[in-house]
A = this chain, B = another copy of it.
Amino acid sequence: MRLGLDIGGTKVDAVALGDDLEVLGRARVASGFGPEQVVANAEAAARQAAEVAAAAGATPLESVGIGIPGIVDAEAGVVRHAVNLGLEQLELARHLEQRLGAPVRVENDVNAASLGAYHLLGLDGSMAYLNLGTGVAAGFVNDGAVWRGARGTAGEIGHIPVDPTGVICGCGQVGCLETVAGGGWVARKWGGDAALPLVDLFDSADAGDERALALRAELFEGAAAGVRILILTADVETVVIGGGVANLGARLIDAVRDRLDELARVSPFLSSLELSARVRLVPLDRPVAAIGAALAGTVPETEASWRS
């Protein structure tokens, strides 16, 4: 049995995974803030999920994988910088190995979700996971393993400017992809106090609200731009869209494919790349990030990167 912990800004989602990606146990607790709380809460979530799995007859614990937002040194098992959780240079793997008695691997949350999406969709070859979350970033998986790039920063496409006339991004540049396709930015631009700002945005657009239509079109354009950047630059076979914005489901993916088809109609070059056929939505009914974290826990020592 393998444990996967998806440690988010507010909650930890823990799954105990059996064979064939079957979830045998699950638990959710608050993430906490600062190293003591985050470690303690992660341990609690792990134990709870493991207990449920044991009651269901799961095999003994083999490994633990963690997906966490921020700058992660996967080789060292160290969370170097995670502002939302109040963590700096936390040796998360070592702490949890001591408490849980199994090997622990730590992975950036987007990379973990990438692994989850890849395996849940039964993909092979190369894939980029385009995370439209609060921010925008991509993770790469090739032949089943996370692919990091030379310095571990592959996929930071949220900070590629796409509109020189756009807004100033948190990173300091103007018109970054994240400012038009990131859930945080879109929600902030839309405003209001709906519990689900993007659903409210889409409902308003469907009802004909001009401002909503414009903002939503910008989001579709941005998502399509992200797919285009990933395929034209890295030529991955598949791009899977995930993250909070992806919970919009068909309302998002159909429109993104329509936009890619529209571009293909004006550009024979783009048409030859079959962009809309190569983009998919993450499965919305599975805990993709937590399952991916569990898979990250079992990654062999030799990982895919430019250097291997």
Contact = CB atoms under 8 A, between A and B. Distances in A.
Interface of A: 125-126, 138, 142-143, 148-157, 159-165, 171-173, 225, 228-230, 232-237, 263, 266-270, 273, 306-307
B267 A173 contact: yes
Contact of A306 (B126, B157, B270): B126
A263 B173 CA distance: 7
B237 A234 contact: no
Nearest to A164: B163
A154 B263 contact: no
Contact of A153 (B162, B172, B235): B235
15 contacts: A125-B150, A126-B150, A153-B273, A155-B235, A157-B233, A159-B267, A160-B232, A161-B225, A164-B165, A171-B268, A171-B270, A173-B270, A229-B229, A233-B233, A236-B306
Contact of A149 (B234, B268, B307): B234
A135 to B, nearest CB: 11
Contact of A160 (B154, B165, B229): B229
A161 B263 CA distance: 11
B267 A172 contact: yes
A236 B149 CA distance: 6
